[in-house]
């Protein structure tokens, strides 16, 4: 599993940062990508990667500000001609998203050659997406903005083949039958399958924020606790907590202080204001712990199993 940054900037693009779009690469797990937000020029960003639009079957929009959605109509149109014909797509997002997309397509006389479904999300929603549990949390922004928490199912432990051989069962199709059952019989003896399995691997948890002020309540922090990767905005890098709060955004030190109450494996800051040049960003990142990074366009983060 990998997390890919297609755009890491806030508000308007700069020469070095496009506005926010991410891809959760679960090709190894389910042969798909999850697209999170769709900034302007998304189509061009994808052309600079190996991502196949036809393998994007689910899109998650955090909120309806333009820097997070202006690339969506173009992507939907181009997907129709990049292997997406007949392949369904689900777009998850706030109320009003479907109306905006339909109005854009209607006025531009655009048409799709694949079915599209809209799933309107709200605070507290939890639903299944291709075996992943997705939980939605309302954030604190000028308009409704959401956090998406993606939780992978636990992976069953591998069979202890040596232990099976010890009782006289040689490798073959029977191993698959044993693993899929609670008990199995061999030479008149009934065995518990669990006794022949290694411990399961915990499913991974990835939490991706839309724009937000820092949120301090316990329920929110509990939702993030134990995450393998947290992606949080840091429109303001240092010493501007009051300004960040005034404009419904976050400041990096305030976020770090808040998240110090929970455990997580990796933390990625994105949605960086274009007021900060590369030298300043590098200086700030140099002061962070090794598991905390500031996003840049085309950054790719691997999220290994059993990283907690």
Query: Which residues are designated catalytic?
Result: 67
| Annotated binding residue 271 | yes
| Annotated binding residue 65 | yes
| Annotated binding residue 128 | no
Q: Which 3 state secondary structure label does DSSP give 278?
A: helix
- Residue 184, phi then psi, degrees to nearest 5: -150, 155
Alpha carbons within 13 angstroms on the beta-carbon side of residue 105 total 18
| Residue of 260, 243, 262 lying closest to 251 (CA atoms) | 243
- For 113, other C-beta atoms within 10 Å of its C-beta total 11
- Residues β-bridged to residue 24: 3, 34
Do strands 132-138 and 126-129 pair parallel, antiparallel, or not at all (unpaired)?
antiparallel
Could you tell me if 55 and 80 are in contact, meaning their C-beta atoms sit under 8 angstroms apart? no
**Residues near 278 by beta carbon (within 8 Å), at least 6 away in sequence:** 16
* DSSP-derived secondary structure for 111-146: --SS-EEEEE--TT-EEEETTEEEEEEE--SSS--E
| Annotated binding residue 195 | no
**Residues near 260 by beta carbon (within 8 Å), at least 6 away in sequence:** none
Report how far apart, in Å, the C-alpha atoms of 114 and of each of 80, 82, 83, 271 are: 7, 12, 10, 32
| Annotated binding residue 63 | yes
- Annotated binding site, which residues? 63, 65, 67-68, 141, 211, 271
- Annotated binding site for Zn(2+), which residues? 63, 65, 67-68, 141, 211, 271
């Amino acid at each position: 599993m990998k997390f890919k940054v297609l755009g890491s900037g806030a508000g308007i693009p700069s020469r070095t940062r496009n506005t926010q779009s991410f891809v959760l690469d679960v090709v190894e797990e389910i042969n798909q990508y999850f697209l999170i937000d769709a900034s302007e020029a998304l189509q061009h960003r994808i052309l600079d990667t190996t991502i196949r639009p036809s393998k994007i079957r689910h899109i998650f929009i955090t909120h309806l500000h333009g820097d997070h959605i202006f690339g969506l109509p173009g992507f939907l149109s181009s997907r129709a001609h990049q292997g997406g014909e007949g392949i369904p797509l689900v777009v998850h997002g706030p109320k009003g998203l479907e109306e905006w997309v339909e109005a854009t397509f209607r006025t531009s006389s655009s048409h799709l050659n694949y079915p599209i479904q809209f799933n309107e999300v709200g605070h507290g929603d939890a639903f299944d997406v291709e075996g992943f549990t997705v939980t939605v949390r309302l954030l604190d922004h000028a308009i409704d903005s959401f956090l998406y928490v993606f939780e992978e199912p636990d992976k069953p432990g591998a069979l202890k083949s040596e232990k099976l051989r010890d009782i006289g069962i040689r490798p073959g199709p029977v191993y698959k039958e044993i693993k899929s059952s609670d008990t199995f019989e061999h030479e008149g003896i009934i065995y518990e399958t669990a006794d022949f399995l290694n411990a399961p691997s915990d499913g991974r948890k990835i939490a991706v924020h839309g724009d937000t002020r820092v949120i301090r309540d316990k329920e929110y922090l509990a939702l993030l606790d134990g995450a393998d990767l947290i992606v949080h905005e840091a429109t303001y890098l240092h010493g501007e907590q009051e300004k960040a709060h005034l404009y419904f955004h976050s400041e990096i030190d305030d976020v770090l202080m808040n998240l110090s109450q929970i455990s997580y494996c990796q933390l990625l800051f994105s949605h960086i204001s274009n007021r900060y040049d590369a030298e300043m960003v590098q200086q700030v990142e140099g002061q962070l712990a090794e598991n905390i990074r500031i996003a840049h366009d085309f950054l790719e983060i691997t999220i290994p199993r059993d990283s907690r």
